[in-house]
Structure 1
Amino acid sequence: MQFELLDESHYAEIMNTTVVPALESCRVEGWMEASPSLQGHAPHQNGKLHYVCYPAEDFDGLHRSEASARLRGVVVISHGFTEFAEKYDEMVWYFLLAGYSVCVLEHRGHGFSVRDVQDPNLVSVDDWHRYVEDLSHFCSSVAQELAGGRPVYLFGHSMGGAIGAGVLQRYPTLFDKAVLSSPMIAPRTGMPMLLAPMVVGAACMAGFSSRMVPGHAPFSQAIDERDYRRASANRIEWFQSLRTEHIEYQTSAATFAWVREALRMSRSLLRQSNCDRIETPMLLLQATNDDYVLERQERQFVEQVQEGGCHAELVRVEDSRHELFGMPNAAMSSYVRTILDFFDRAVH
């Protein structure tokens, strides 16, 4: 099917008058129990994770002329670090137009979901496996029910892509296909990968687990100039306006514990025995100018999945930044089309 991307020159206007009202008309909001602590630490609040779903049948009832008349399945969006469900409204729009229902789980520490620390600026987690268990439970219950026997696909960005990769390894048959967009197979820490676990581990042992890591900062309404490089200024401004309006969206920094767990997750994801477990056909989209994740480890991950006998592709998005869904339309068009074509075509 063919449809046009949103006009960047009138981006906020189109989002406010067309996209957001349409999504709100078919939006279903819910809560699920978070996975129990694996280290005996009880989370704050009520231990609930927030999610939103957009059934394609309800969207189809809006009779959008550019929408597909075919219901194809469900796309589960696994968002990135310091992100939230509403940030993906444009991608949800394209998936719905293509005939896919969409589910978005807000990971613990993000959006309206339970937080393990009180400071709204910070994201922390005591064990990265909890992310994997949360997402797998969400997919096997909420997403599978919405799918009604149709395929369930994964779209994971950055941290969400790494969590998704962990699900692919632990639960090999949960998804029918998976797209990992700039996945955090290995995070950039500013230190050599061999040294970082020792430095961060020592900080945690010294009692700094819940402290903000150096180089991170509390939320600011000002947009960092780095966010504009190779990006769509109007998309970045829209994302920032959402964060400014909602304190729940203003997470901006990691604790030492979060970095420790991100590094532990990376080691697990790159273990060949775990890559051998993956059975889900996979597409990894790599930014060519990524300030947040390491490109070599992304390639290594794909190669190891291929060695394990599973279909895995790596596509580099030229002249791009980490948030591939925030690129100008010239790059965004190919990005969205590549994802939809992968979901739609037969993969052997």
Structure 2
Amino acid sequence: MEIIHENEYLYRMNKEAEPYLELHRQEKYVSNAENFIRGKNKDFSRKIHIQYYLAKNPRGVIVISHGFTEGSPKYDEMIYYFLKAGYHVYMPEHMGHGLSYRLTADPSLVHVDIWKRYVRDFLKVCREIKGTHPDLPLILFAHSMGGAIGGISASWEPGLFQKIILSSPMIRPLTGKVPWPLVVLIAHFECFFGKAQKYVAGQKLYDGGESFETCAGTSESRFERYDKIRRAHKELQTCAASYGWLLAAIKMSWYLQIWGWKKIKVPVLFFQAENDDFVSVRALKRFAGKVKQQGSSSCKYIYMPGTKHEIYCSDDSSMEKYLKQIFRFLEIDAQEIY
């Protein structure tokens, strides 16, 4: 698989990938799921933003479920590869991210009132995509928080996706030096006493101060491109979690590990980064083992040496291995793409 190499990354993204994506890009907004669940107090201003790209002779549809604090432009390179491989690509932005609706006016803060909101919204989008392309297989590509949302979505509606790719999925978030049981207690305590929209201790406003050394990828050119875009767009400057989001992450983790794994019935490809400071590798391995053990579907686990949490923002060598495994899972000969 020929990737866009780091020594020419910014040039080729600017001169080749971005014009190609712009030619194929469309966007729309859809009402959130809440308006169809509740019979009153509907708020039709709450909409989910979706960018989508249509291939000429599609072999399937890939829907991307992004991670915590991310926005659509971060996945431009992956979208480019999927589109060139002959897939329609849909990129919805989860509530509280990008141009989708938010429950707080603070542009730095990611807040959610209940974890099921993420799943309901995402499933509504995926059902609409499936309805638009009923004859094409729907494939999930999900990273980190998006892996939790996507994994639960697949367990709620086992027949929706034909294949699932989980890249560093948030089966359980890491919590630094604070023990997990204490984090659970703190999140419940703060939310119970009306502080759900407060910043989690240690989180702060966006200040543009992230550096390559502290980022979650291993490619400096890939980091620099998105960092520049992020600085210029306020809607991409989410960077902090509320206690409400933390409690939602805890409950998604519980659901996945207790019930969710039992209901996944399609082939799954798991990717684990060597150095991950954001999600629990032990929880990921345990979850993948359960999915594989139940035997309802094939399950492949890929360990990616030399990578960090955002495997899709890795150095050239890792990116080549990453994409090779993805396209092999999708049963595509890489020579077909270029």
**TM-score with structure 2 setting the length:** 0.92
- Matching of residue 344 in structure 1 with residue 326 in structure 2: no
1:43 is displaced (CA, Å) by 9.5
* Residues 52-91 of structure 1 mapped to structure 2, 5 A cutoff: 52-57=51-56, 71-91=58-78
Cα contact 1:84–1:111 (8 A) shared by 2: yes
3-state SS, counterpart of residue 263 of structure 2: coil
1:194 is displaced (CA, Å) by 2.3
Provide closer, same or farther for how the CA distance between residues 17 and 230 of structure 1 changes in structure 2, counting only shifts above 3 A. closer
- Matching of residue 23 in structure 1 with residue 21 in structure 2: yes
1:323 matched to which residue of 2? 310
2:135 matched to which residue of 1? 149
In structure 1, C-alpha distance between the alignment counterparts of 2:310 and 2:43, rounded to whole Å: 30
1:133-186, Cα deviation, whole Å (9 max, x unpaired)? 1111111112441x3411110000000011010011111110000000000000
3-state SS, counterpart of residue 104 of structure 1: strand
In structure 1, C-alpha distance between the alignment counterparts of 2:286 and 2:93, rounded to whole Å: 28
In structure 1, C-alpha distance between the alignment counterparts of 2:11 and 2:40, rounded to whole Å: 45
1:45 is displaced (CA, Å) by 8.3
Cα contact 2:217–2:311 (8 A) shared by 1: no
3-state SS, counterpart of residue 289 of structure 2: helix
- Matching of residue 334 in structure 1 with residue 321 in structure 2: yes
In structure 2, C-alpha distance between the alignment counterparts of 1:204 and 1:41, rounded to whole Å: 25
Aligned amino acid, residue 247 of structure 1: K
Provide closer, same or farther for how the CA distance between residues 217 and 129 of structure 1 changes in structure 2, counting only shifts above 3 A. same
**TM-score with structure 1 setting the length:** 0.90
Provide closer, same or farther for how the CA distance between residues 144 and 152 of structure 1 changes in structure 2, counting only shifts above 3 A. farther
- Matching of residue 207 in structure 1 with residue 194 in structure 2: yes
1:48 matched to which residue of 2? 47
1:197 matched to which residue of 2? 184
Residue 104 of structure 2 is aligned with which of 105, 108, 117? 117
1:170 matched to which residue of 2? 156
2:118 matched to which residue of 1? 131
2:144 matched to which residue of 1? 158
In structure 2, C-alpha distance between the alignment counterparts of 1:254 and 1:117, rounded to whole Å: 12
2:11 matched to which residue of 1? 13
1:266-293, Cα deviation, whole Å (9 max, x unpaired)? 000001x432211121011001100000
1:229 is displaced (CA, Å) by 7.3
In structure 2, C-alpha distance between the alignment counterparts of 1:228 and 1:276, rounded to whole Å: 34
Provide closer, same or farther for how the CA distance between residues 134 and 228 of structure 1 changes in structure 2, counting only shifts above 3 A. closer
Aligned amino acid, residue 180 of structure 1: L
Equivalent residues, number: 329
1:300-322, Cα deviation, whole Å (9 max, x unpaired)? 11111123223222111011100
1:42 is displaced (CA, Å) by 7.2
Cα contact 2:216–2:310 (8 A) shared by 1: no
In structure 2, C-alpha distance between the alignment counterparts of 1:336 and 1:144, rounded to whole Å: 28
Cα contact 1:144–1:152 (8 A) shared by 2: no
In structure 1, C-alpha distance between the alignment counterparts of 2:98 and 2:50, rounded to whole Å: 9
Cα contact 2:168–2:271 (8 A) shared by 1: yes
Aligned amino acid, residue 46 of structure 1: S
2:205 matched to which residue of 1? 218
Cα contact 1:82–1:253 (8 A) shared by 2: yes
1:27-50, Cα deviation, whole Å (9 max, x unpaired)? 110111112188999798811000
1:181 matched to which residue of 2? 167
Cα contact 1:44–1:115 (8 A) shared by 2: no
Aligned amino acid, residue 344 of structure 1: E
Cα contact 1:81–1:158 (8 A) shared by 2: yes
Provide closer, same or farther for how the CA distance between residues 31 and 239 of structure 1 changes in structure 2, counting only shifts above 3 A. same
Cα contact 1:80–1:158 (8 A) shared by 2: yes
Cα contact 1:50–1:105 (8 A) shared by 2: yes
Cα contact 1:227–1:236 (8 A) shared by 2: no
In structure 2, C-alpha distance between the alignment counterparts of 1:246 and 1:45, rounded to whole Å: 25
2:335 matched to which residue of 1? none
* More relative contact order, 1 or 2 (CA 8 Å, 6+ apart): 2
2:287 matched to which residue of 1? 301
In structure 2, C-alpha distance between the alignment counterparts of 1:25 and 1:144, rounded to whole Å: 24
Provide closer, same or farther for how the CA distance between residues 165 and 132 of structure 1 changes in structure 2, counting only shifts above 3 A. same
1:103 matched to which residue of 2? 90
1:215 is displaced (CA, Å) by 2.1
Stretches of structure 1 lacking an aligned partner (at least 5 in a row): 58-69
Stretches of structure 2 lacking an aligned partner (at least 5 in a row): 333-338
Provide closer, same or farther for how the CA distance between residues 262 and 40 of structure 1 changes in structure 2, counting only shifts above 3 A. farther
Cα contact 1:278–1:308 (8 A) shared by 2: no
In structure 2, C-alpha distance between the alignment counterparts of 1:121 and 1:41, rounded to whole Å: 30
Provide closer, same or farther for how the CA distance between residues 42 and 339 of structure 1 changes in structure 2, counting only shifts above 3 A. farther
In structure 1, C-alpha distance between the alignment counterparts of 2:212 and 2:64, rounded to whole Å: 27
Aligned amino acid, residue 13 of structure 2: M
Runs of 4+ in 1 over 6 A off after TM superposition: 37-45
Provide closer, same or farther for how the CA distance between residues 33 and 197 of structure 1 changes in structure 2, counting only shifts above 3 A. same
Q: What is the aligned-residue identity percentage?
A: 37
